[in-house]
Amino acid sequence: MNSISRRSFLLGVGAAASAGLLVSRSPLLAAAEPAGLASRLAADPLRPQFHLLPAANWMNDPNGPIFLNGVYHMFFQYNPNASVWGDMHWAHATSADMVHWKHQLIAIAPTPGGYDQDGVFSGCIVMDGLLPTAIYTGVRTTANQADATLLDGVHVFQETQGLAISRDNLQTWQKTAAPIIERPPAGMAITGFRDPCVWREGNNWMLALGSGVPKKGGAILLYRSPDLHHWTYLHPLLEGASKGSDAINPVDAGDMWECPDFFPLGDRHVLLISTMGKVFWKSGKYAAGRFTSEREGMVDFGSYYAARTMLDRNRNRILWGWIPETRPEAEHRAAGWACAMSLPRVLTLSPEGDLRMEVAGEVDALRGSHTRLDSAMSAVARQKTLAALRIRDLSAELQLEFMPEPGREFAFELRGENDEPFASMAYNPANSGRELRINKTFAALPVAAGKPVHLRLFLDGSVLELFANSQSSITERVYTVPKSALKILLPNPAHLKSLDCWQIRPISKDRLTT
Ligand code: FRU
């Protein structure tokens, strides 16, 4: 759990939520109905128009994304009561194309008096034959410190792993009476015990669990089961080294790895972990239950966390991530909504084993009016086209290709009609390890001499997702509402090869509030 935005969650808020039902049927919209909230959210210019987010209130991690019978199902951490973290449920949305989403009823709610009474935390979905099976972490406040596995300075939670199955096409879920993994391995001191990732291996199921060892570092615990119900702890899949910080919350120190996701990609395996507010990838070899990391990096240098993958209809590996807020909690509490899901990103590995990502081609279907500038045009024609170009409704895709010049920054800006600043982006080869920038957020973008830089920016209300050469990404939040359409400024256009700008069409009429 990332404590910064969640500190003010009050214990007990969740108790009133789910009225004793094993499976909650309360629609997501219910929260948006009172006091015209839905119409306010539908008109909020900061609220994205083509990213998935709940009708109202708070969301965080993607949970158990799965493509089944021609439909994409996305579940995610959701607070039905407020636009701040707390009282975690699994919300549910469906899509035919990973782009246009429809809200469904809440999928899994805490069971009062149950092992998940204080929260249905993150997890995954696997197919047990024909039976969709969700495996997730349930939390419950404990008075007994010895049972507590989540201590972040605010909560004293016991975490156990729960299982629920659906017999009606992922709409309602029936939980087992008892957790399937009740406590950490005997004698092991751990910093956390959550967010299972399950896969099939031969005749067994394997389960990777986010954890860590105090002052030693993060760790992923590996379990095995013949039937998804009885689990044997094997050993760590991978262990990290402590960052040596004294943070109260072990996640902030890097001593707790949340949300593991483990999968084959190309001829290697990839492990994703979330810690210290960032998602890290590691690629390497997996054999005999041990993962040897050979290369590693950061998935996204911005506001992006708790990523999880699935296979799409063509068996591409698709990455989803939670886009947190960066504004003060009082502001998103007042706004009535908080956070969004990233666009789907297709993952591949470079020949060296570095993670590469591209926004899924399905997103192209949202493109509206198009403006292009390229090197076949005269300088005058380019200048004229750029001067006339406007981005309306904070909803656009922008692509720029340019040849970097040694020692010289390439920059471009989005500004309002009267030059009010909105966002500025730059690539500076001299800034080693921090070559790419959007506003005040930097990312590494090493580019071999003589190679072009290709930038792709998706602007959607307060969300900006920036991709560079398929190798680096920054998700930025911008809470400025410009008074007019945005124009693009390019102070140094000489090395621009091309610029493409599309208006992006919204995925719903009302910013997904219905
Ligand atoms: C990551 C996380 C997970 C946990 C969930 C709770 O953002 O802290 O570790 O399962 O969020 O909402």
- The residue to which tokens 């591209």 are assigned: 358
Q: pLDDT exceeding 90 applies to what percent of the chain?
A: 87
The CA dihedral of 17, 22, 28, 33, to the nearest 10 degrees, is: -50
Q: CA–CA separation, 208 vs 224, rounded Å?
A: 9
Ligand 1 atom nearest to 137, measured from its CA: 10
Instruction: List the catalytic residue out of 44, 61, 374, 500.
Output: 61
SS3 99: coil
Question: Distance (Å, rounded) from C-alpha 171 to C-alpha 71?
Answer: 13
Using CA atoms, how far apart are residues 373 and 166, in angstroms rounded to an integer?
51
- Model-level pTM? 0.94
Q: Whose CA is nearest to atom 11 of ligand 1?
A: 1
Ligand 1, residue 274: give the atom nearest the CA.
Answer: 1
CA of 202 to the centre of ligand 1 (A): 30
Number of Cβ atoms within 10 Å of the Cβ of 448: 5
Distance (Å, rounded) from C-alpha 93 to C-alpha 89?
Answer: 13
CA distance 381 to 370: 16
Which residues partner with 265 through β-bridges? 268
Instruction: Kindly give the number of the ligand 1 atom that is closest to the alpha carbon of 305.
Output: 7
Q: Which of 75, 85, 258, 276 to mutate to test the pocket of ligand 1 (most atoms within 8 A of CB)?
A: 258
Ligand 1 within 6 A of CB of 1:
yes
Ligand 1, residues 9, 60, 322: which to mutate, most atoms within 8 A of Cβ? 60
Token pair, residue 281, equals 């990838």
Which residue spans of the chain are classified as CATH 2.115.10.20? 58-359
Ranges of residues in the chain with a pLDDT under 70 are 1-35, 244
CA atoms of 302 and 509, how far apart (whole Å) = 29
In Å, what is the CA distance from 59 to each residue of 86, 147, 376? Answer: 10, 28, 46
Ligand 1 atom nearest residue 77's Cα: 12
Q: Which CATH superfamily is domain 366-504 in?
A: Exo-inulinase; domain 1 (2.60.120.560)
User: For residues 180 and 169, what is the distance between their CA atoms, to the nearest angstrom?
Assistant: 23
- Pull the structure tokens for residue 302: 């911005």
CA-nearest of 504, 498, 401 to 452 is 401
Question: Looking at residue 28, what is its pLDDT?
Answer: 53
- H or E element at residue 222: strand 217-225
3-state helix, strand, coil in the chain (%, to 5): 10, 45, 45
Amino acid, single-letter form, for residue 321: G
Helix (H, G, I), strand (E, B) or coil at 321: strand
The rounded distance, in Å, linking the Cα atoms of 26 and 55 is 13
Tell me the residue type at 177.
Answer: A
CA atoms of 451 and 498, how far apart (whole Å): 15
Active site residue 61: yes
Which tokens in the block code for residue 230? 């009885």
| Cβ of 305 below 6 Å from ligand 1 | yes
Chain centre to alpha carbon of residue 153: 24
Among 289, 302, 178, 282, smallest CA distance to 230 is for 178
- Within the chain, which residue ranges are assigned CATH 2.60.120.560? 366-504
What is the pLDDT at residue 495? Answer: 86
User: Ligand 1: which of 77, 160, 211 to mutate, most ligand atoms within 8 Å of CB?
Assistant: 77
What is the rounded CA–CA span in Å between residue 513 and residue 29?
Answer: 7
The pair phi, psi for residue 173, each rounded to 5°, is -130, 135
Q: Is 84 in the pocket of ligand 1 (CB under 6 A)?
A: no
- Burial class of 249 by CB neighbour count within 10 A (0 to 12, 13 to 18, 19+): buried
* 139 touches ligand 1 (CB under 6 Å): no
CB–CB of 22/174 below 8 Å?
yes
CA of 509 to the centre of ligand 1 (A): 31
Superfamily of domain 58-359: Glycosyl hydrolase domain; family 43 (2.115.10.20)
Query: Which atom of ligand 1 is closest in space to residue 85's alpha carbon?
Result: 12
Burial label for 239, CB within 10 Å (0-12, 13-18, 19+), is middle
